[in-house]
Structure 1
Amino acid sequence: DVPLLDEERAERFAALVGNLMAAHIEVMATTTPGCDSASGLVPDALVVDGSLLLVDEGECAAGSLPEEPAARVACLVWAADGPSFLAEGCAHEELPADLRAALWAMLVMGRGQKGDLRALLGADRGDEAWACLGAAYPFLGIDEDEETFQAAPLDLGVVVRAFAGAMEPMARAVGCGRR
């Protein structure tokens, strides 16, 4: 598991991985999307993102596959407490506070438009957040063509409890915090 690396450490890690690969040594590293600062620096890296890990028909009992791809996250399909597990993971992901706020807002709203993130974060940062979250978090159900999202259905109480400790930094990041 690779933690969040600053730029210098990411470059050193990427060089190490590159040297190992040049010596024909296979390297496997796992990281959360918010901590992936090195994969783009490693030539020939194969990155497996969350969309490749969604549950498919062959992995579900007949007729039990959720219709919406956003709800096909393994913990939501197979774990009894999957929604809490997913919400807790999101709340503790190493992300900038404004991105965490955008993630929280999308889970709370359940569905919406790209314009909702632009209204929350401003046009430029909203567009950046949309691209970042869409690439890394398939459970948000982001549709690039339609500029809409339909997140995995999570109970509002589950999301609120999971993010309770992160509310103040998120509020400050979007200009709503205490002064």
Structure 2
Amino acid sequence: MSSHNVDSNVLKTQMHSLEQLRQKTQALVDCKATLLSKTEILDQKKSLLEETNSERQRLQREKKLLREMLHNINQDMNSLVEVEQSLTKESEDLERSVNKLKHEQYEPLHGNNQYQVNDIRVQNGLTKLPHIQQELEARMAQILEDRRVKWQQEESESSASPTPKRRMTGRSGRS
């Protein structure tokens, strides 16, 4: 076999490998974007669920203190329970979807065998792509920091103001 045929075969093999890498990298990028989007929605739903739970607990305490407003508080609680159930179901469905997407699509593309994106990238002298978990942890750290700052601001505002702010509005006879 001539040197030219060997070089040609090597080039063909490399071209094929690079095309596979391009396709798999695009699939990984698309999968990652979907996973990040769905994870963000899941985080928002869980946050709403957390806020809903907090609001329901606040209303239960208020019910004991303000018996004359029992009717309005019961209406609020019924609404919150419906929202809570809906958010719980949506969160569970999204969590299942995120886990399925992560395990069935993302991990096989990103993982550790000779046909997966990072190994192909390394074989071709490219750097590995970061794992989605690193990005999720960084985003969660930022969310927690943002919450901490928000809570500190709320604490300083509430200590400066003699009356607590109401979160729910639209109820007659209540401020």
Establish whether TM, by shorter chain, passes 0.5: no
Which of the five TM-score ranges fits, normalised by the shorter chain?
A: under 0.3
> What is the TM-score normalised by the length of structure 1?
0.24
> What is the TM-score normalised by the length of structure 2?
0.24
Flag the structure with larger Rg.
Answer: 2
User: Whose relative contact order is higher, 1 or 2, with alpha carbons under 8 Å and at least 6 apart?
Assistant: 2
Higher helix proportion, which one?
2
Higher strand proportion, which one?
1
